[in-house]
Chains A and B, each alone.
Chain A
């Protein structure tokens, strides 16, 4: 179904972090941007569609106070809003927002880091653009910071702090089907496997809470009102967002899942885990019976690699890209 293409070499190897690959497709310029985190650096590659031009850029985590200490980056993700695209980078010290090509930093939000380290780690993780003008970022305390983003410029403000989760946020996702009918806009996941479903607005509204079973949910997606969640046990579960009804349960991987992605136009689902496997599935929604079907389509094994990032490169799922711990390349696959 898919075959391997030429890999893109990156300047550093990928670190073992959840969802460690972000992809932004820029159709008008026939380019795709990729970001991969290595310790305190974000490696950005801009790849032209004809495969001839690659340009690289590195972004460092911002450390406003101490010159010598490093701040490890937890995640870097592109946020696509109707008016603009931003690159959000979260670290132990705070949240940086850049123009999508990484050229200018437009916003910095510092986390409250204690003077001496505490037993509970402090960091930001979990990034999602929501609806027209919000970017939501999770924090290790369980809080979710909601930023209001104007259509231009750097006048980004912290609009709200959502305090619902009690454990560290792992991942967040917004409704990606493009459908106006969906009630739920955002789902957030934490280290206890708990999921919160939200409706965005001037004040975000909690629509539903789905309990985890003390097993971390490391990656989550929201599509056509269905939450797709990947867990540390290697299971994938599909829930109806607003009601919490369990649609399907898949014993998908033999190790901790690190990344999920959905191609919104085709309903293809991508899952990747520490077990070296990337799997492609197909989701079918049947609104009449309120059921969801999951079919397994394809496996790719990245030999001797713990995968940490996997994303589709386009909305149909025609191609996808993969990163792995200690690997200095972005591996690409295209449909045959």
Chain B
């Protein structure tokens, strides 16, 4: 399908991730003076939160990484993409437990699935991406270094996507919908807002403004062979549609008009999910991706570039001071990990020996820098296994 889908997938998922982390960091916030009085108190102060956001955004918009991302290529497997986001989430001093990381990823993917489905026109996917970009820009507005990276990415998006036709965008959208196929995780905020049903499916309203370029359904016009209109008939369209809104801006600055892709979380509207693993659709879904799937060469390249862009982080405090919990309490988080249905587990990626020695060696070299004792990594296949375990060891 479309070879231009990955940048949009990455940027939009990344944007959602930042919205969620920002909300959780604020929710676990403690006032700065309280933190000074008692440094043993677990919690985040404003500075820390900004640092975490800046670190993640810097890594997301790393020049080499983006170069790799924008190359024409097929979409990554779900496992590979999840690994990329695991790395990204750990690009700062913040730590997430397995259960919290799973939940974070569920929320990110369901949010973007919702946005893709509800996009009135396929081209509006670009406006959704710009909404995410606008918010990211706002997160780093006080840090000129990162700001310029973000601005450059706007340019790349505009260059790559504005010339595309409506059919090209629909192909991108169809590629994304295949990626999100059969995902029906229920998200509390969606259920509350009645945009998702209790069976996990999104509500598709048959009312509201039609997309830009579309007419409200209901008119039949018939013409003579000379082109004169002979008859006009009206029919009942079965919905409650209104005329299209004005078109959103596809420039670096501008009113995007659509609300899809803007931040729907706030401290008062916390982030929660329900695990509904008993839906048979999710069981069917895992069958499609059961190939053992050693990471394809392209996926390894991207990971290598991403990790190359990461600074080696010091272990940080072992206490929960630097840990973010996506759940309300630690107990809930533990409970979620135990009770997570099998078919919804993302699986740990094991980097297996691939035929490509060079990519493998490069990865091994980068990972060699992560070992505590400073040993050079002996062989790709042994040290190369289980990336996540390595990171957890930090």
Determine, out of A10-18, A220-228, A314-322, the stretch whose residues face the partner at the interface: A10-18
* Interface status of A295 (Cβ within 8 A of chain B): yes
Q: Residue A252 at the B interface, CB < 8 A?
A: yes
Q: Which of B190-237 contact A (CB under 8 A)?
A: 197, 201-204, 206, 210-211, 213-225, 227, 230-231, 233, 235-237
Chain A residues near B120 (CB-CB < 8 A): 255
Say whether B165 contacts A325, CB under 8 Å: no
Q: Does A256 contact B (CB under 8 A)?
A: yes
- Docked-complex contact A68 and B177, CB < 8 angstroms: no
Shortest distance in angstroms between A66's beta carbon and chain B's nearest beta carbon? Answer: 9
| Also in contact, A301 and B174, with CB within 8 A (given A234-B214, A245-B225, A296-B233) | no
Find the residue from A120, A190, A214, A254 having the highest chain B CB count within 10 A. A254
Please state if A16 and B166 are interface contacts (CB–CB under 8 Å): no
> In whole angstroms, what is the CA distance A109 to B214 when docked?
38
Chain B min CB distance to A309 (Å) = 13
**B31 CB–A CB distance under 8 Å:** no
A210 within 8 A of B: no
Q: Does A123 contact B (CB under 8 A)?
A: yes
Write the B281-306 contact mask toward A (1 if CB under 8 angstroms, else 0): 10010011001011010000000000
Interface size on B, residues (CB 8 A): 63
What separation, in Å, do the CA atoms of A257 and B193 have in the docked complex? 28
Q: How large is the interface on A (under 10, 10 to 19, 20 to 34, 35 or more residues)?
A: 35 or more
Q: A-side binding surface: helix, strand, loop or mixed?
A: loop
B216→A254 contact, CB < 8 A? yes
Given A168-B167, A192-B165, A254-B216 in contact, is the A121-B3 Cβ separation under 8 Å? yes
Q: Are B222 and A247 in contact, CB atoms less than 8 angstroms apart? A: yes
On chain A, the residues within 8 Å of B214 by CB distance are 233-235, 251, 254-255
B214 to chain A, nearest CB (A): 5
CB of B204 within 8 A of CB of A304, answer yes
Q: Is chain B's binding surface mostly helix, strand, loop or mixed?
A: loop
Which residues of the other chain, B, contact A116 by a CB distance below 8 angstroms?
Answer: 72
Q: Which residues of chain B are near A118, meaning CB under 8 Å? A: 3, 72
B206 touches A276 (CB 8 A): yes
Q: How far is the CA of A118 from the CA of B2 in the complex (A)?
A: 10
- Do B1 and A123 have beta carbons less than 8 Å apart? yes
Residues of B within 8 A of A17 (CB): 174
Give the complex CA separation of A70 and B220 in angstroms: 44
Q: Which residues of A contact B210 (CB under 8 A)?
A: 234, 254-255
B181 within 8 Å of A (CB atoms) = yes
* Chain A: minimal CB distance from B357 (Å): 18
Q: Does A203 contact B (CB under 8 A)?
A: no
CB < 8 Å neighbour of B170 from A123, A214, A256, A299: A256
Check if A248 sits within 8 Å of B1, measured CB to CB. no
Q: Is B374 an interface residue (CB 8 A)?
A: no
Chain A nearest Cβ from B371, distance in angstroms: 30
Within 8 A of A (CB), among B354-369: none
- Can you list 28 A-B pairs, Cβ within 8 angstroms, ordered by A? A15-B177, A38-B288, A68-B293, A117-B3, A117-B73, A118-B3, A120-B3, A121-B171, A190-B167, A215-B166, A216-B165, A232-B121, A234-B215, A235-B214, A235-B215, A245-B225, A246-B227, A248-B222, A254-B237, A255-B210, A256-B121, A275-B217, A277-B239, A296-B236, A301-B206, A304-B204, A326-B184, A328-B284
B residues near A (Cβ < 8 Å) are 1-4, 72-74, 117, 120-122, 165-168, 170-171, 173-174, 177-178, 181-182, 184, 197, 201-204, 206, 210-211, 213-225, 227, 230-231, 233, 235-239, 241, 281, 284, 287-288, 291, 293-294, 296
A15-B177, A247-B223, A305-B204 given; 11 more Cβ-contact pairs under 8 Å: A118-B72, A119-B3, A121-B1, A216-B167, A234-B214, A249-B223, A252-B217, A299-B238, A304-B197, A304-B202, A328-B281
